[in-house]
Structure 1
Amino acid sequence: EVVCGAPSIYLDFSRQKLDAKIAVAAQNCYKVSKGAFTGEISPAMIKDVGATWVILGHSERRHVFGESDELIGQKVAHAQSEGLGVIACIGEKLDQREAGITEKVVFEQTKVIA
C-alpha cells in the first residue's frame, strides 16, 4: 500500500489530486474525539476529508513537542478505535544509539502501541 502523509491543511487537496490507489495520511491527531482542544485534529476530521491513515510518534513530535510514549500510545489506540490506519514511528536518538540503549528505547516505545 502507498500512503502520502500531508500537513492537515492539505489533506483534502491531496485526496483530490492523488490517484485513488494512493491513501492519504494526516501527520498527527489528538487522543480524544470531543472537547476544546484548539489547533488539534481529531480522527473524525481526518476521515471527513477522505484521509484513512495517520502518522503518530514521529521524532519531531517526540522531541520538539515533548510527546511521551504514553501520549503516543493513547493517540494510537484512539485513532485505531476510530477506524484510521496508523503509521507508528519508533526510534532512538543519536545519543541513545551511542549509549547502546537502542533496543531498550525501541522496546519502551513499542510497548505502548502494541
Structure 2
Amino acid sequence: MFVPAAEYYIGGAMETKLNITSVEVITEAIGITGTSLLPLLQELPGIKGVPGAYELVVLAGQMAYAEAYKWVYYVSIAFGTLSIIAACFLGDISKYMDDHVAVVMH
C-alpha cells in the first residue's frame, strides 16, 4: 500500500510544487524515501539547491507512510477482534497450568 500512496503524495508534490516531471527522478525519490535514506534526497536534480524542496518531499513521504500504515492498523483490529472472540470459546485450561517444564535449561 506504500507504493500507490508514495506515487500520489511524493510524485504529486514533486510534479505540482517542484515542476519535476522526470519519471526517473520521481521513482528514485520514492525509492530513497521507502528505504529511509532521506539525506540522499538532497542530491537529486530539482531538489538540490531549491529552498524548501527537501522538506516538501520529506513531508510528502511522511504523508505516504501515514496513508499506507493505516491499513496495517485496520488489519490488526480485525485480528485482535477474532482473537477475543476465539478466547471466549476457549475451554478450561486450568489442568495445563502446573509446574511442568518442557525443557530444563542450566
| TM-score clears 0.5 | no
Work out which structure has the larger RCO, using CA pairs closer than 8 Å and 6 or more positions apart in sequence: 2
Larger Rg: 2
Between structures 1 and 2, the one with greater strand share: 1
TM-score by length of 1: 0.27
TM-score (norm 2): 0.29
| Greater fraction of residues in helix | 2
